[in-house]
């Protein structure tokens, strides 16, 4: 057995049944179109003041005219001839890392969460067999990883070397790039990154020869720390939410494991992922076996139908849209057991 589970923002927003939530509602992970909600996230915006113009502009367009991905794609195109826009986008990378790390710390680690329940059910199926499972997460938060501490350590290799594997194509709030030695004397790497005009292109085109790594507790709240070689500097390793991202952030070894999982699976569970990532949709279409079952869980029937329509190229797949409203209802209903057992 080798189920593939694809989770998006909706899985984090519905991470726990609200009746069992023990943490402040203010830390509930947002859906992508609510990333710039000033009522909830002004504290983090003030920490990265360079994004203020971007936020003010975005609120006039999103969501009534553009999705956040469409809006930011427009800004990315403008930034090629506008240094101010480029700085705003670089600052947004730090904003997203700050925001989702704090959300993970202040809303995560709850005992009765849906991800833990799903993982337990999967473990029951694969523990005494040669089976495996692969989570593909498009979320910057680490709510999933908090439930997999027996599998995942500080090494990115740990994400893919056990029976339950985790692939994060767009990076994570606790992943960073190590900036090479010519940055080592910089007192404020954040400000320096914003002043390095080609930094955004270097990350997008993978020209820095950097490999993402997890932040350890030695520098969890700073982008510098001291080691035996002196000071080293870091920047966020996550992809901005743009349409049709050109590159995956995760290492190639993770992508290889993801392709392996897609080739071997006979069932895919989609929870809260809108199926807008062109690269993953192509990999799914190229690698799944005919007759692969695809279960779609979303908060609304209309959004589930939209997800199915976005996967139109999966011509040989057998789709099944959950009748339940969201992740919590799906886990309570027994539909998850049916998905794993059939």
Query: Do 16 and 118 reside in the same domain of the chain?
Result: yes
**Percent of the residues in the chain that have a pLDDT greater than 70, as a whole number:** 88
Q: Report the alpha-carbon distance of residue 67 to residue 228 in Å, rounded.
A: 46
Dihedral over alpha carbons 140, 141, 144, 150 (to 10 degrees): 100
Q: Is the pLDDT of residue 216 over 70?
A: no
Q: Which domain holds residue 214?
A: 174-238
Q: Write down which residue in 238, 259, 274 finishes a domain.
A: 238
CATH number (domain holding residue 142):
3.40.50
289 Cβ contact partners less than 8 Å away, ≥ 6 residues apart: 263, 265, 266, 316
Question: Which residue is it, tokens 């099944």?
Answer: 320
The DSSP output letter for 211 is -
Contact in structure between 194 and 86 (CB atoms under 8 Å): no
Pairwise CA distance, residues 241 & 5, whole Å: 21
Q: What is the pLDDT of residues 146-198, one digit of tens each?
A: 999 999 988 899 999 999 999 999 999 999 887 654 545 566 778 878 887 67
Q: Are 160 and 292 members of one domain?
A: yes
**Per-residue model confidence as pLDDT tens digits over 298-339:** 999 999 999 999 999 998 999 999 989 999 999 999 999 999
Query: Is there a contact between 169 and 237 (Cβ–Cβ < 8 Å)?
Result: no
Quote helix, strand, coil % in the chain, to nearest 5.
Answer: 45, 15, 40
How is 206-249 classified by DSSP, letter by letter? T-S----EEPPGGGTT-SEEEETTEEEEEEEEE----TT-SS-S
Query: Using CA atoms, how far apart are residues 266 and 328, in angstroms rounded to an integer?
Result: 24
Work out the average pLDDT over 255-283.
Answer: 95
Given this model, what pLDDT does residue 220 score? 43
Which residues neighbour 303 within 8 Å (Cβ) at sequence distance 6 or greater?
274
164 and 254 both lie in a single domain: yes
Domain boundary among 201, 218, 238: 238
Same domain flag for 192 and 149: no
**Residues 13 and 121 both lie in one domain:** yes
Instruction: Locate 115 and state its tokens.
Output: 């991800």
Residues 178 and 229 in one domain: yes
220 — alpha (psi -120 to 50), left (phi > 0) or beta? alpha
First to last CA, the chain: 11
Peptide bond into 63 cis (omega under 30): yes
Residue 275 lies in a domain: yes
CB contact set of 162 (below 8 Å; sequence gap of 6+): 151
Q: Specify whether 96 is located in the same domain as 141.
A: no
Asked whether residue 299 falls in the same domain as residue 337, the answer is: yes
Q: What is the pLDDT confidence band of residue 211, given thresholds at 50, 70 and 90?
A: low
């Amino acid at each position: 057995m080798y189920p593939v589970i694809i989770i998006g923002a909706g899985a984090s927003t519905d991470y726990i049944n609200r009746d069992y939530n023990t943490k402040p509602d203010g830390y509930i992970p947002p859906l992508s179109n609510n990333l710039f909600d000033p009522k909830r996230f002004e504290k983090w915006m003030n920490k990265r003041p360079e994004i203020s113009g971007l936020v003010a502009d975005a609120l006039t367009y999103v969501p009534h005219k553009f999705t956040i991905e469409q809006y930011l794609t427009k800004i990315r195109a403008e930034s090629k001839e506008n240094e101010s826009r480029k700085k705003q986008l670089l600052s947004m990378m730090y904003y997203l890392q700050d925001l989702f790390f704090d959300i993970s710390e202040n809303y995560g680690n709850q005992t009765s969460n849906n991800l833990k329940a799903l993982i337990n059910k999967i473990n029951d199926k694969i523990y005494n067999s040669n089976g495996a499972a692969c989570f593909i997460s498009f979320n910057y938060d680490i709510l999933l990883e908090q439930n997999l501490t027996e599998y995942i350590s500080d090494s990115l290799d740990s994400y893919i070397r056990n029976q339950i594997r985790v692939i994060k194509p767009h990076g994570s709030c606790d992943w960073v790039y190590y900036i090479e030695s010519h940055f080592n004397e910089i007192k404020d790497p954040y400000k320096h990154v914003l002043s390095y005009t080609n930094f955004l292109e270097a990350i997008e085109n993978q020209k820095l020869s950097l490999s993402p790594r997890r932040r350890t507790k030695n520098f969890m709240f700073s982008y510098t720390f001291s080691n035996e070689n002196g000071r080293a500097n870091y920047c966020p390793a996550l992809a901005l939410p743009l349409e049709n991202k050109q590159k995956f952030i995760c290492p190639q070894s993770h992508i290889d494991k993801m392709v392996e999982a897609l080739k071997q699976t006979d069932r895919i569970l989609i929870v809260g992922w809108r199926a807008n990532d062109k690269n993953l949709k192509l990999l799914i279409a190229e690698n799944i076996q005919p007759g692969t079952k695809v279960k779609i869980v979303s908060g609304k029937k209309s959004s589930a139908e939209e997800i199915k329509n976005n996967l139109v190229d999966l011509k040989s797949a057998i789709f099944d849209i959950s009748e339940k409203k969201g992740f919590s209802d799906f886990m309570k209903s027994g539909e998850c057991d049916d998905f794993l057992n059939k």
